Amino acid sequence: MDHTTIDQTTTAGPLAGTTVLDLTQHLSGPFASMILGDLGARVIKVEPPAGDPTRRIGPYFEDGDSAYYLSANRNKESVVLNLKAPGGREALLALAAKADVVVENFRPGTLAKLGIDLDDLLTANPRIVLCSITGFGSDGPYRLLPAFDIVVQALSGGMSLTGEADGKSVRSGLPIGDVAAGMYGAVGALAGLIQVGRTGTGTRVDVSMLDTQVSLLSYVASYYLASGDVAGRQGRGHMSIPTYRAFTCGDGRDIVVAANTEPFWRGLAAAFGRAELVDDPRFLDNDARRAHRAELDAILEGVAADSTAEALLARLAEEGVPSAPINTIDAALADPQVVGHDMVVTLQGRGDGIRAVGNPIRFPGGRTEFAAPPRLGDATERVLRDVAGYDDERLAELVGNGAAVIG
């Protein structure tokens, strides 16, 4: 089996030359550091001897690691350190001294139990950006509680908006609690780097998964703050735009239509073969259509039920109305627009390569080759030599003490 690795020290991209010390596991933290790696940073993932727990999450595995782990850990190097063993803590601080960013997503106080206080990292490197992603932040009554994606979706109110209007609230099919926090974490780390460049002084960035989910309430929260009205489950439509919704066609396929302006509404009416609706007093403008939503829904749903998805989408396209099929995952990843933008990539360095979703951020001169997620400890020796400056004697001592494991 191919054990080739891609050199992470000479990658292209706007963050080339930036070193990120990745103390993360599960999804939110690894997603943040993966973004930084995709943008050219050298990402050193420090793992305990057992590895990131997600390496073992089923049901799907490829080349020895879970598909879950493989989804969020490309473009990284794995270093195995046991912080409880003699020399492990010192090795981590030696790496922090040479890093630009540290990303961690432990519950507050967890690192301290391992002998690493966050202040120790800033002492080791006064110019470092320390990005902490937690469930509930570094303070507040929930700070020490465990948090997972479904928990913050529920607490934030976002889950109460998801599901059929007359049904039960459901979790978003995408892990937005984790990945959105990871995105905010990456943004915070980048802002921290700019601040360090301006002031020469390191900084802390604190990102809460719950805060992130509350921020995503966006205009729905503003509607409540302005009116006191509490939005409910949105179902297949939109709370304020009746013609921004999904339809089931006669062939059983589902489509969406985004007729959120008056020109698009006129186009929708024409595409549905009901141009006379434009002059119907019940539907003259969006306020009227909202007041008579049930009547409009019945008319449009009847037309959709008598049409195939292909035919209805073609008519909508002719009228210039934004619309699309509701793709399954296989259809989405095969969509010509997605394929044309290289959003399915092959990660090099493990076996025949591992297929994964690409990065949507593009820069001229950015990296064109993505490295597969590392095997456990595959870079321990290289990184401790090149970054921490350890020689043969110190490496042998670490390995002998069980403080480091060479993969």
Cis peptide before 14 (omega within 30 of 0): no
Domain that holds residue 140: 19-216+343-405
Q: Are residues 39 and 167 in the same domain?
A: yes
Assess whether pLDDT exceeds 50 at residue 334. Answer: yes
Residue 365 C-beta-side C-alpha neighbours within 13 Å? 6
Q: Are residues 43 and 122 in the same domain?
A: yes
135: alpha, beta or left? (left if phi > 0; alpha if psi -120 to 50): alpha
Neighbours of 263 (CB within 10 A): 11
The CATH number that applies at residue 308 is 3.30.1540.10
CA distances for 372 relative to 30, 43, 67, 346, angstroms: 14, 13, 12, 8
Q: pLDDT tens across 38-47, in order?
A: 999 999 999 9
Percent over 90 (pLDDT), the chain: 93
Report whether 183 contacts 216 (CB < 8 A): no
Q: pLDDT tens across 219-258, in order?
A: 999 999 999 999 999 999 999 999 999 999 999 999 999 9
Q: Are residues 320 and 353 in the same domain?
A: no
The CATH number that applies at residue 90 is 3.40.50.10540
This prediction's pTM: 0.94
Task: Give the end of a domain, one of 332, 364, 397.
Answer: 332
d(CA 361, CA 357): 12
Report whether 15 contacts 41 (CB < 8 A): yes
Q: Are residues 28 and 168 in the same domain?
A: yes
d(CA 258, CA 11): 41
Confidence tier at 8 by pLDDT (50, 70, 90): low
Residues near 248 by Cβ (< 8 Å), separated by ≥ 6? Answer: 254, 301, 304, 305
Q: Are residues 47 and 182 in the same domain?
A: yes
Catalytic residues, which ones? Answer: 178
Confidence tier at 6 by pLDDT (50, 70, 90): low
Q: Are residues 139 and 120 in the same domain?
A: yes
Q: pLDDT tens across 160-215, in order?
A: 999 999 999 999 999 999 999 999 999 999 999 999 999 999 999 999 999 999 99
d(CA 89, CA 107): 19
